[in-house]
Amino acid sequence: MKFGILINEGPYTHQATDSAYQFTKAALEKGHEIFRVFFYHDGVNNATKLTEPPQDDRNIVNLWSALAKEHNLDLVVCVAAALRRGIQEENLAEGFRISGLGQLIESGIQADRMITFGD
């Protein structure tokens, strides 16, 4: 099955990001395809390399980057939501790219299922 993933919540304020990461990782391990992971609203905060969690906490931004590198995932950050939050190309973490809502629409068309994490 081919999944599109939509993440609407930030990395350390809501369980949605961790749930999305675990779902994506498990789906890939089971042989499913992830068409795209789209970060929208506060979810764009998952893409900034300026995140510096405490040493004893997970670094969800790095986890997404590593998963993208390992599985050639398309991690797309909504341009409008990113700019509102001060996120630009130069402070994106490895593996993320900025694009528009057309990428989200394409995910909904191309994927068999679109899974949304967060409000």
| Closest C-alpha among 24, 13, 53 to residue 115 | 24
CATH topology of domain 2-117: Hypothetical Protein Ychn; Chain: A, (3.40.1260)
Q: How confident is the model at residue 54 (pLDDT cuts 50, 70, 90)?
A: confident
Please report which confidence band the pLDDT of residue 52 belongs to, taking 50, 70 and 90 as the band edges.
confident
Active-site residue flag, 78? yes
Q: Please report which confidence band the pLDDT of residue 57 belongs to, taking 50, 70 and 90 as the band edges.
A: confident
Mean pLDDT over the full length of the chain: 95
- The domain limits of the chain are 2-117
Residue 27 has pLDDT above 90, yes or no: yes
DSSP for residue 15: T
Helix ranges (H only) for 1-119 are 16-29, 60-71, 79-84, 102-110
Selecting among 6, 34, 78, 111, the annotated active-site residue is: 78
Higher pLDDT, 78 or 57: 78
Cα 36 to Cα 59: distance, rounded to the nearest angstrom: 21
CA distances to 1, 17, 20, 45, 105 from 60, in Å: 25, 8, 11, 10, 25
At residue 104's C-alpha, the angle toward residues 7 and 99, to 5°, is 95
Is pLDDT at 58 greater than 90 in this prediction?
Answer: no
